[in-house]
Amino acid sequence: MKYLLMICLALCSSTSYAVIETYEFSAPELEARYQTLVEELRCPKCQNQTIADSNAPISEDLRRRLYQELEAGLSDDEIVAGMVLRYGEFVRYKPARTGVTLWLWWAPWVLLLGGLLLWLGVVLRSRKARVSLGDKQDQIEKLLKDNT
């Protein structure tokens, strides 16, 4: 009985999160573009969900607006540019790699390379110091032998 209850709860809960679209497109190409775009745009309210996955009211509005703009004949670039203009670069799930975002992509690697170079410099300097210390030790021992 317990397992039957668990199965029923699991089946019921998974369907409650599904987003059901009822838009009828004038062409199958528009529907394909719609499906692609809803997976590329992030919900401004949700932290890490696309507008396809989110049930937030703003996501519903964005999906409706996306449908209307596709039916109006706007290109994907125009639609995304309008969304970015209104909601900022955050609305793109994969932000454009320009300006600040390039710095965000490359900064960890630049810092890692800088750290490795710094570490290499410290290691080489300490080895060089040990070698020069060894030479001075030899000179001291030679002077002590000569004086005795």
Using a 10 angstrom Cβ sphere, with 0-12 exposed, 13-18 middle and 19 or more buried, the burial of residue 43 is: buried
In a domain, residue 1? The reply is: no
Rounded to two decimals, the pTM is 0.58
In this structure, are 85 and 71 located in the same domain? yes
Look at residues 65, 91, 117 and tell me which one is the last residue of a structural domain.
91
Query: Quick one: pLDDT at residue 12?
Result: 64
- Evaluate if residue 15 carries a pLDDT over 50: no
In a domain, residue 4? The reply is: no
In this structure, the dihedral spanned by the alpha carbons of residues 72, 73, 76 and 77, taken in order and rounded to 10 degrees, is -100
CATH of the domain at 59: 1.10.8.640
Query: Quick one: pLDDT at residue 98?
Result: 76
pLDDT single digits (tens) 110-131: 999 999 999 999 998 887 777 6
* Distance (Å, whole) CA 100 – CA 81: 17
